[in-house]
Structure 1
Amino acid sequence: MRLSRSFLPTLKETPSDAQIVSHRLMLRAGLVRQTASGIYTWLPAGLKVLRNIANIVREEQDRVGAQEVLMATIQSADLWKRSGRYDAYGPEMLRIKDRHERELLFGPTNEEVITDVVGQELKSYKELPQVLYQIQWKFRDEIRPRFGVMRGREFYMKDGYGFDIDYKGAVDTYRKMMLSYLRTFQRLGVRAVPMVADTGPIGGDLSHEFLILAPTGESGVFYDGALDTLDWLADPVDVDKSEDLEKFFNNVSSYYAATDEKHDDKAWESVPVERRREGRGIEVAHIFYFGTKYTKSMDITVAGPDGAPVHPEMGSYGIGVSRLVGAIIEASHDEAGIIWPDNVAPFKAVILNLKVGDETCDTLCEALYAKAPERFLYDDRSDRAGAKFADADLMGHPWQIIVGPRGAKEGKVELKRRATGERFELTVNEALTKVLSA
């Protein structure tokens, strides 16, 4: 993409209503614009980031055998009345009526819809387990939307639902989802620590929130410092073997990590003092086992091994895709702007032409751009060099390929790594190899 023809409206000044770093930088870097309270339009660069995150989430869900569906955003109130949640959910639910006075709602979550669909189609335990997921827009009418996409009313989310014939199967699915999530965050270039979380009124002992550690996090967290460097995925896991999943889960669970609500002072004392960490975290995902809550209330059964009707065991598995955009920025930025992880960035690199109109610079930049026009942003504006450098840092491209008259004559460019500030003087081919292989 050529910057001179792009819709990437950057701002020099920080908007006065933006309270946290991610909100300020998302506005300044031209990722989003607010259209109503807690509701945003995603501009081209922001949409690229959103899609990059969603694609990684999708690939890792598919990798463990989950299947993608797409449910409607508008749901029938009758389904929620069947489950008993319609009146209990609260004012966060946007309730509406159509022209025939039928009660509808804009979905804040999808347990009722997916349970109804599965109940209509699955008849036997032989058809289980099933894990179905979608990546879809949701709406919750927050009383005080704030912090940009971190606490908006409309948000983009991956929500998944597991169906198993018994508790053992549901536990396997739960562990499989935890593995998938850790792989997802590893590919996204962030460390999201799984923390034992409160299960709420449903009860049970299977609930984990995944939190990205950041000073602006809403949740207080306590965790074993060994988690800062631990590679949970070092050992291969066969997701079709219960014993492999159990070993993986026990390894993760052996290190203390909990949110405020589940903090255990006695267990905390068993962590070596030098490894105790306290801080703040941003919740970006939640996995949750809730058994037969919905299959019972909605009277959904399948035939068990002995022919008797069985209510399938369920779990829900969510990742906040749009929330992750803000969370990644909160965890990865400096005074100059965003520092995107490679797999998330809207562009792999920006090509900075420091002397537009110089034949040698123009020719070299065009040759570079032609190698990967879908992955490179070409700053072909006639602006001064300082403005180009400032925008490149603000937008957070992992690499900057800097082309000036002196180097261009020798067939060389300067390559800057945004995350570290390292600079390299390289030939064109060397620079391309380094950027495209990262």
Structure 2
Amino acid sequence: MNDNVLCSMDQVSDLQAALPTTVHPGYHIDICLNPVSTARPSVVKDHVLALLHKNKYAFGDFIVTEFEEPFLQDHVISVSLSDSEPSGQDRTTIDLRAAKLHLHVFQLHEDGPGSEELDGEELAAANHWLLPSSDFHGIWENLVFDEDIKGQLLHFATTTLLFSDKNVDKNVISWNRVVLLHGPPGTGKTSLCKALAQKLCIRLSDRYTYGQLIEINSHSLFSKWFSESGKLVMKMFQKIQEMIDDPEALVCVLIDEIESLTAARKSTLSGNEPSDAIRVVNALLTQLDQIKRYPNVMILTTSNVTGAIDLAFVDRADIKQYIGLPLPKAIFKIYHSCINELMRSGIIMPAQQLLDLRALEVMSFAENEATKLSLQLRDVSKRSYGLSGRALRKLPFIAHALFVQKSTVTLEDFLVALDKASQRQFKERADLTKD
């Protein structure tokens, strides 16, 4: 659960003195229904709107999971706002009565992924989820970046839909519905793609009845038979085409490590005969050009080695977003969320609440009893710079396993263990480079 929650008028009065009230053009409220609920979305929205107006104010992002009203108790799992502002931007008090609220009601599919197989091939060609899926619930909220990357991707999808609705001539203005996220391993590229597909499905629930995510297994599309890989790519996209043909479905196609499918053609030429890799690239580009005319499809791709990607594919990507290693501010926020979760579970004994960076800044980063531990976490975050988001999320576990080894620990002792664990990561990395 996020540490930011709805506030009553009395509770927020002291916050308003320090922070301006913002009337935003619109906030998106996600309402997760109980899987067995049969309540009509319009009725649910009315009850949630009454709840928000009753509280009147919210401070930054929030999530509510406990309700007093019996209807909400029976039908709603959570009500949340999780993208009111970019990571690191100053948070403001939100006037829920004055702001325009966009309410999105959804239910999670609890089945895991299915597999898509191609005739005659041993490996599954793709994993397939119905969206929104419980597998991806909460990923969006826990992804932390130094820029407003999540907001930019949502704006891209909105513009894509708008241009399609308005029948903008693609011969005049070109867009291909392709996103390329690139950067070092472990920075959250694949997770962001899955979370984006989930978020789009929720945001567009009034337009599309359901969503589908197809994660292509690139390695399965390289056949053991020479020259067959290009045909496998076409077969895979024929299956995707069947899904796109349903106008009620929002289809997101995820191709992880796209460089394995789009190896630069200039490096694969051999004699007068094109290699199988070239046939794969040509087949993929052809299929992308064919499906881009459909309004209900999005192609999401990732790469760790952008220099290996064919330039013809790079040119087709509408957005080429670099996802780098988190800076200390983002690291602080990641650690902050991890520690709050360990406090919630009782592993870290509840003590004074950790302050966020904005609160520390307001207090000029002065050290006192209220700020001591928060400043200590800030120092640990600075010393952790250079680690990937994937490594940072593992560190609380490693810190406990190696340097705590007991059921409960004080926050002060855990911060010491966390610092030791982060420095151990750097040492392990250095040791690996010696081999």
Does TM, normalized by the shorter one, top 0.5? no
| TM-score normalised over the length of structure 1 | 0.28
| TM-score normalised over the length of structure 2 | 0.28
Q: Name which structure has the greater RCO, CA cutoff 8 Å, separation 6+.
A: 1
Structure whose residues are more often strand by fraction: 1
Structure whose residues are more often helix by fraction: 2
